[in-house]
């Protein structure tokens, strides 16, 4: 029963993530890019839109959703790569939801395509993927949070951070988020804020790791064991 629920929710997550990314991309391509009006060409607007961490996290979430439905089934957990994908989808979306509601949301109504995409990428997906991750614990042979997977889960956020700061230099000062805008708040504050978000990111992973080590042995007391990396 739990496996069927996980697969169904995975498909829902994949459908929501892909549809929000596609509809949002259409909206970005066909309307002025108000966050940085200098981007006038369609390609510039699309590149800027798909450079938001929110979009990266939702696309990763959609990929994880498909994997829950078709890959992480019948006892397969995907090994190291599967654990990293599950962790990235869970933590990146948790960070997306937290940062949006604490630092970005201003209460203004969403219009146009954002009326469809915003509730998905800022609300539904940041809740849905952690729920699936929790349900999937009973299916795993070992915890997702291990030293190697923790480090692996930091790769995509690190790539995004490097890309964002490089893009800021290449575009003459465009930052996707005000709390990173070194032009406005200074490089030191920008780096400090980004570092704090990384600390929160790692703290989330450690909390998930604690949950796993408390719950999984109780769910699978006769089958739980630590496998070598790369197995399963």
Quick one: pLDDT at residue 105? 80
Q: Is residue 171 assigned to a domain?
A: yes
Range of the domain at 195: 2-107+115-219
Quick one: pLDDT at residue 216? 75
Nearest to 153 by CA among 71, 60, 213, 84: 84
DSSP 133-186: HHHHGGG-SS-S--HHHHHHHTHHHHHHHHHHHHHHHHTTS--SSGGG-HHHH-
DSSP classification of residue 120: I
Quick one: pLDDT at residue 110? 83
Cα angle vertex 195, ends 194, 196, to 5°? 90
Number of domains in the chain: 1
C-alpha to C-alpha distance for 123 and 166, rounded to whole angstroms: 29
C-alpha to C-alpha distance for 9 and 174, rounded to whole angstroms: 36
Residue percentage of the chain with pLDDT more than 90: 72
Q: Is residue 75 assigned to a domain?
A: yes
How many other β-carbons are positioned within 10 Å of the β-carbon of residue 130? 18
Quick one: pLDDT at residue 44? 94
Quick one: pLDDT at residue 28? 95
- Over the stretch 133-184, which tens digit does the pLDDT of each residue have? 999 988 887 899 999 999 999 999 999 999 999 999 999 899 999 889 999 9
**Whether pLDDT at 224 is above 80:** no
Residue percentage of the chain with pLDDT more than 70: 94
C-alpha to C-alpha distance for 103 and 95, rounded to whole angstroms: 11
User: Chain-wide mean pLDDT for the chain?
Assistant: 90
Q: Is residue 226 assigned to a domain?
A: no
Average pLDDT over residues 96-108: 84
Q: Is residue 227 assigned to a domain?
A: no
Q: Is residue 141 assigned to a domain?
A: yes
Q: Is residue 224 assigned to a domain?
A: no
Q: Is residue 230 assigned to a domain?
A: no
* pTM, full prediction: 0.89
Q: Is residue 225 assigned to a domain?
A: no
How many other β-carbons are positioned within 10 Å of the β-carbon of residue 123? 14
């Amino acid at each position: 029963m739990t496996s069927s629920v996980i697969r169904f929710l995975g498909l829902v997550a994949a459908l929501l993530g892909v549809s929000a990314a596609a509809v949002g991309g259409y909206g970005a391509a066909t309307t002025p890019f108000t966050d940085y009006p200098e981007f006038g060409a369609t390609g510039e607007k699309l590149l800027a839109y798909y450079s938001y961490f929110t979009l990266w996290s939702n696309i990763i979430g959609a990929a994880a959703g498909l994997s829950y439905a078709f890959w992480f089934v019948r006892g397969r957990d995907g090994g190291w790569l599967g654990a990293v994908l599950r962790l990235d989808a869970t933590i990146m979306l948790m960070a997306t939801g937290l940062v949006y509601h604490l630092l970005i949301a201003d209460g203004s109504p969403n219009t146009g395509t954002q009326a469809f995409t915003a509730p998905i990428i800022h609300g539904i997906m940041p809740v849905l993927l952690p729920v699936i991750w929790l349900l999937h614990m009973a299916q795993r042979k070992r915890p997702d949070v291990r030293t190697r997977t923790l480090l692996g889960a930091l790769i995509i956020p690190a790539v995004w951070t490097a890309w964002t700061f490089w893009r800021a230099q290449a575009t003459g000062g465009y930052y996707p988020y005000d709390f990173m805008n070194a032009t406005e708040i200074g490089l030191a504050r920008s780096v400090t804020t980004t570092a704090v978000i990384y600390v929160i990111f790692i703290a989330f992973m450690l909390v998930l790791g604690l949950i796993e080590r408390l719950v999984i042995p109780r769910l699978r007391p006769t089958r739980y064991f630590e496998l070598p990396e790369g197995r399963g």
